[in-house]
Structure 1
Amino acid sequence: MEKFIPKDKHDIQAVEECIRIGYPEIKPILPELLNWIQDMNWPVAQVLAPFLAENAEYIETEIRDILNGDDEIWKYWVMIEILGKSPQLQKNLQNELEKFANHPTESEQIEELDIIAKEILKKTNHVG
Structure 2
Amino acid sequence: MQAVLSASPSAPKSPFVNLVEGMALTALFQAIPTYAAAALILKVAHSTALRPGIVGFVGIATVLHVLLVTSVGPRYPHFARQAYAAEFYDATLGLADKVLRWRMQPLASLQLLGSTVMLSLLSIAALATG
TM range (shorter): under 0.3
Give TM-score scaled by structure 2 length.
0.26
Give TM-score scaled by structure 1 length.
0.26
